[in-house]
Structure 1
C-alpha cells in the first residue's frame, strides 16, 4: 500500500456517509460504490499534490 491508497482509504467513511444521504455526485460512475472509489482517489490525488507543494516531496511512499 502506498500513501495514495492510505489517503483514499481514509476518505471512504466520509464519502460513504455523504453517499447515504444522496449528496455524492456520481458523475459517470455506474454504481454508488464506483462513485465512492473514484471520489476517494480524487481526494487522495489532491492531498498528494498539496503535500508535494508544501514539502517538495513527490510520490506516495508511506
Structure 2
C-alpha cells in the first residue's frame, strides 16, 4: 500500500484485546478500504475494494 497522508484513519471499534495495544486502523475512500496496524503505521497496510470489504464484514459480523 502506498502511504496516503490524505486518508482519514480511525481505530476499528472491533479492535481490542487484553493487551490493550493490538489495534487496527481503517480508512475509507469511495472506491477502497485501507487497513493498517496502529502500532507501526510505517508498515505496509492492506487495501480492499468496497465489495470485498463488504463481503468480509458480512462473514465476521
TM-score range, shorter chain: under 0.3
Question: TM-score when scaled to structure 2?
Answer: 0.24
More strand by share: 2
User: Which of these two proteins has the greater Rg computed from alpha carbons?
Assistant: 1
Question: TM-score when scaled to structure 1?
Answer: 0.24
